[in-house]
Chain A
Amino acid sequence: MTAPEAVLPGGRFAVVRASPLAVVGGAMVAAALVLGAAKGWQSLAQATINGLVSGSYFALGAAGLTLVYGVLKLVNFAHGEFLTFGAYMALLGHSTLSLPLPVAIVFGVALTAVLGVGLELAMWRPMRRRGAGVLQLLLMALGLAFVLRNSIQIVAGTDVRQLGANVTASVTFGGLHIGRTELWVLGVALVVLLALALLLRETRLGKQIRALSDNPELAETTGIDTEKIVLVTWILAGALAGLAGIVYGASVGVVTPNLGFEIVLSLFAAVIVGGIGNAYGALAGGILIGLVQEWATLVAPASIKVAVGFGAMILVLILRPQGLLGRVRSADR
């Protein structure tokens, strides 16, 4: 527990609780102040902007991952490949089918959603029916990741592609740069994430999803159509992942078969930091990991920023395994 414990004489125990979000928020602000003072406010601001951009696609990717986990208790190691798939499908639409870019994006997103559903029907549902164990499913997801990634590689080749977006045009204000594409990325991500949050909170569907992930046994007895919700979850997860892949591809400018795999561990970090199974947590976690990674570039060589992100994840796992917004489940110990 992160909560400090007071031991009173006679072996009595007492516990004081503090809000995790407040603690982390405070820590982040403190870190920001230190970094800003040490490295200059300009650099801090630039790094923060970069962090928000990467945080936004982390959040998109993490949201899908955590939704699937929440509803199915499946750690989808193949999620990164969904991102790659989405990016490639958009590429297909734009380059090969000559669709205008926005349409190609929708195309990519939709096809990834289809992939998610297809896999559910072909693989996950039959395995669940057979009572497959957690380890089995985990390993299947791993195998699936291999198959997907390398199939894409076989079909599309390892050449680096571009998503056709203008990566160099940027907007400057107050001495800070932000690429035009990245501005778009931020905007799109913001809109989509808000829409997701609203969906989860207000719509009946969203409430059912949350009910199913919080307490599956209870949810089933209240007459929720589990199978339908599962399908919807996969649609959402697939779509979000596809969008995340497209957005990431646009943001870094290149699309390769390893696109998803490159950031999948950061996605896991975001999910875990935010609290696995909790979609809001994924949003917070994504932004956090994005910020942590970019801030790290102020003090360490850029090539290890991803490792710093992992470090943050490991730290969270040690101090508070259920993540920032997760609830303690007895299985978490």
Chain B
Amino acid sequence: MLAATYGIFALGLQLNIGTTGITNFGQAGFMAIGAYAMAILVVREGWSWWWAMPVAIVCAMAAAVLVGLPSLRLRADYFAITTLAFAEIVRYAANNWRSLTNGNQGLLGYNADWFKLSFRFGNWLNDHGIHVTSFLFPLMLVSWALLLVLWLLVAALVRTPWGRVLRAIREDEDAARALGKNTLAYKLQSLALSAALAAIAGFVLAMNLTLLVPDQFDPVFTIFGVVIVILGGLGSYVGVLVASFLLMTLLEGTRYIGLPLASDKIAALRFIIVGLVLILLMAFRPQGLFGKRKEMLLGE
């Protein structure tokens, strides 16, 4: 289920890093904005959950434009640092702006509507012979369905002429500019779309957690997302699907290995594995599982 969250999250990252070539390391920040906007609107302002979500998505997209406007003209590594800093600022703000977000005591109560829906869905499934084991099951189904739909959408988008311009920007932005393309606009669109995806991932996460705490939106989340993108192959959307699943299985799997280590050490071990995966991937198979080797070679 986390896989679906990461999958949606990573779709956005793939759009940014793999297709457009902008290294967005602030994805967790957009996710936080989306999740918190939704929760705040529902809990503090009494909005209906159904209205809060699209508005929250718009918030995340607006944030993307705000962040992107000044910083997209920077080089890749500077942009990465800037977006990372942005995500951290969001996290700090969430932690400290108690009146709005309740700090690290968390926000809750935003999922009442979802609960009802989920309950009804669960019953419907039961009626149709599918045995629902946990109350999270409907969420899992919905999130995977969401992932698939979004995946299809994004993959289709990338194949359009619009996507073609993005791919051109990734390889050589100046060439695209010389051909009359307003590359800044395209990059902003890519970033905004990705932020929207992050916001949706944030919704799924929020529903999963039932308590919204700022420290959930750690930069580590973004790093995991990046690993998924790389593992699956830069530019490959199928790869994102497969890799999210793989990575989550790997990570969750280590929970169940009966290692004679204290739990916090096991957690550290998981991170080490992720780090090693990244290093080894970069060293020996930078195109990931589904990336095209040819493209890698030609592009460098």
Interface: A166 (CB within 8 A): no
With a cutoff of 8 Å between Cβ atoms, the chain B residues found around residue A307 in the complex are 88-89, 92-93
Distance of A81 Cα from B133 Cα, bound (Å): 43
Q: How many residues of B contact A (CB 8 A)?
A: 43
With a cutoff of 8 Å between Cβ atoms, the chain B residues found around residue A132 in the complex are 282, 286
Known: A134-B77, A147-B272, A272-B78. A140 touches B92 (CB 8 A): no
Distance of A148 Cα from B275 Cα, bound (Å): 9
CB distance from B256 to the nearest CB of A (A): 19
Distance of A158 Cα from B266 Cα, bound (Å): 12
- Contact yes or no, B85 A154, CB < 8 A: no
Which of B95, B265, B278 counts the most chain A CB atoms within 10 A? B278
Chain B residue nearest to A153 in the complex (CB): B268
- Contact yes or no, A142 B78, CB < 8 A: no
With a cutoff of 8 Å between Cβ atoms, the chain A residues found around residue B84 in the complex are 265
Interface: A301 (CB within 8 A): yes
Known: A138-B80, A143-B275. A318 touches B70 (CB 8 A): yes
Which of A138, A148, A150, A301 counts the most chain B CB atoms within 10 A? A150
Contact residue range for chain A?
35 or more
- Contact yes or no, B278 A268, CB < 8 A: no
With a cutoff of 8 Å between Cβ atoms, the chain B residues found around residue A196 in the complex are none
Chain A interface helix/strand/loop/mixed: helix
Known: A306-B92, A311-B89. A147 touches B279 (CB 8 A): yes
Distance of A314 Cα from B86 Cα, bound (Å): 9
With a cutoff of 8 Å between Cβ atoms, the chain A residues found around residue B136 in the complex are none
Distance of A201 Cα from B223 Cα, bound (Å): 39
- Contact yes or no, A303 B85, CB < 8 A: no
Interface: A149 (CB within 8 A): yes
Interface: B277 (CB within 8 A): yes
* Chain A residues numbered 315-333 whose CB sits less than 8 Å from any CB in chain B: 317-318, 321, 331-333
With a cutoff of 8 Å between Cβ atoms, the chain A residues found around residue B70 in the complex are 314, 317-318
With a cutoff of 8 Å between Cβ atoms, the chain A residues found around residue B88 in the complex are 265, 306-307, 310
- Contact yes or no, A150 B275, CB < 8 A: yes
> B280-298 toward A: CB 8 Å interface, digit per residue (1/0)?
0111001000000000000
CB distance from A193 to the nearest CB of B (A): 23
- Contact yes or no, B277 A143, CB < 8 A: yes
With a cutoff of 8 Å between Cβ atoms, the chain B residues found around residue A123 in the complex are 279, 283
Chain B interface helix/strand/loop/mixed: helix
With a cutoff of 8 Å between Cβ atoms, the chain A residues found around residue B78 in the complex are 272, 317, 321, 332
Closest 7 CB pairs of A and B: A146-B275, A143-B278, A147-B275, A150-B268, A143-B279, A310-B85, A307-B92
With a cutoff of 8 Å between Cβ atoms, the chain B residues found around residue A144 in the complex are 275, 279
Interface: B105 (CB within 8 A): no
- Contact yes or no, B272 A127, CB < 8 A: no
Chain A residue nearest to B89 in the complex (CB): A307
Q: Which listed residue (B77, B85, B95, B271) contacts A314, Cβ 8 A?
A: B85
With a cutoff of 8 Å between Cβ atoms, the chain B residues found around residue A174 in the complex are none
Interface: B143 (CB within 8 A): no
Interface: B45 (CB within 8 A): no
- Contact yes or no, A303 B271, CB < 8 A: no
List 12 additional A-B contacts (Cβ < 8 Å) besides A154-B268, A268-B85, A304-B93. Answer: A123-B279, A132-B282, A136-B286, A137-B282, A138-B77, A139-B278, A142-B223, A143-B276, A143-B278, A144-B279, A269-B85, A314-B70
- Which A residues contact B (CB, under 8 angstroms)? 75, 123, 126-127, 131-140, 142-151, 153-154, 157-158, 265, 268-269, 272, 301, 303-304, 306-307, 310-311, 313-314, 317-318, 321, 331-333
Known: A143-B275, A146-B271. A154 touches B71 (CB 8 A): no
- Contact yes or no, A142 B278, CB < 8 A: yes
Q: Which listed residue (B76, B80, B96, B268) contacts A303, Cβ 8 A?
A: B96
Interface: B73 (CB within 8 A): yes
What are 11 contact pairs spanning A and B, CB under 8 A? A136-B282, A136-B286, A142-B278, A148-B275, A154-B261, A301-B96, A303-B92, A304-B92, A306-B92, A307-B89, A317-B74
Distance of A331 Cα from B173 Cα, bound (Å): 12
With a cutoff of 8 Å between Cβ atoms, the chain B residues found around residue A265 in the complex are 81, 84-85, 88
Q: Which listed residue (A136, A151, A321) contacts B74, Cβ 8 A?
A: A321
CB distance from A185 to the nearest CB of B (A): 25
CB distance from B294 to the nearest CB of A (A): 15
Distance of A144 Cα from B271 Cα, bound (Å): 11
- Contact yes or no, B269 A150, CB < 8 A: yes
Interface: B184 (CB within 8 A): no
Interface: B101 (CB within 8 A): no
With a cutoff of 8 Å between Cβ atoms, the chain A residues found around residue B96 in the complex are 301, 303-304
Which of B92, B227, B281 counts the most chain A CB atoms within 10 A? B92
Chain B residue nearest to A332 in the complex (CB): B75
CB distance from A263 to the nearest CB of B (A): 12
CB distance from B35 to the nearest CB of A (A): 19
Interface: B127 (CB within 8 A): no
> B156-188 toward A: CB 8 Å interface, digit per residue (1/0)?
000000000000000000000000000000000
Interface: B16 (CB within 8 A): no
- Contact yes or no, A150 B271, CB < 8 A: yes
- Contact yes or no, A133 B272, CB < 8 A: no
Interface: B82 (CB within 8 A): yes
Q: Which listed residue (A135, A147, A314, A333) contacts B23, Cβ 8 A?
A: A135
With a cutoff of 8 Å between Cβ atoms, the chain B residues found around residue A306 in the complex are 88, 92
CB distance from A305 to the nearest CB of B (A): 9
Which of A134, A135, A301, A331 counts the most chain B CB atoms within 10 A? A135
Distance of A268 Cα from B95 Cα, bound (Å): 22
- Contact yes or no, B269 A145, CB < 8 A: no
Known: A139-B282, A151-B272. A314 touches B76 (CB 8 A): no
Q: Which listed residue (B71, B76, B93, B281) contacts A134, Cβ 8 A?
A: B76
